[in-house]
Structure 1
Amino acid sequence: MKQKIIFVLSLLFGLMFINAGLNKFFNYMPVPDNLPEKMVKVGQAFMEIGWLMPLVGFIEVLGGLLFIIPKTRALGAIVIFPIVVGILLTHILIEPSGLPIALVLLAINLWVIFENRAKYLPMIK
């Protein structure tokens, strides 16, 4: 049962990041009109650095794909972790309304990292 729950959460988590990453390349989701001014400034700054958004988009797509596949889920969890931390910090510091979703994403990511902890041990020995 636990494996089925992890699979479903991983599938949804991965698809969400794949969607977010592809949006950075194809801009098919409209930007909300009611974004706080700080968020708009941050977005403009990221767009000014021409390589940053494609890099984040690529990492989101790659991490999402790796996260979905059970054999590569441990690697996907590590690849996507910095993105999740960035989402969490953004919602803590700039836009607290999205904090519950950011905490759910962090919890899913940490759960998958915890479940795969044996795979990480060789890296720290």
Structure 2
Amino acid sequence: MEAELVALAASGASTLITLMVSDAWAQTKTRLAAVLGRTGDERETLRELEASRAVLVSALAEADDATVAAVEGEWRARLSQLLLADSSCVEDLHFLAPVPGYAVHNNITGRVQAGLLIQAGRIERSTFHTLPEQTA
């Protein structure tokens, strides 16, 4: 069971790093701070998450892979400690686990057009302007 928790912490840390630089971070950070802050101050945990995010964003901008790995390692250790101390947190951290077998496959069929194609999970508040079709 311990090996499974360590593996979960590793995949969770990897997902956390991905979330830190995504649009989902705003929703994720509060949830994560609530789980990680169980044993301490939730607000302090939120500050630590935001500080890690700032370091990560800077490291990615500078292509500093060592710093990115260090941030991920720090959160892997923190998640491992949490899960080993209280395995009931597994359920609360399920949003960090990758969905097994989840993949997206798209097929585009029909006549060939020179136009705009957008593939996204969700788009909000966007306006797209296109030129009118020209007839020959």
| TM-score interval for Structure 1 and Structure 2 normalised by the shorter chain | 0.3 to 0.5
Q: Say which structure, 1 or 2, has more relative contact order (CA 8 Å, 6+ apart).
A: 2
Question: What TM-score results when the alignment is normalised by the length of structure 2?
Answer: 0.37
Q: Which has the larger radius of gyration?
A: 2
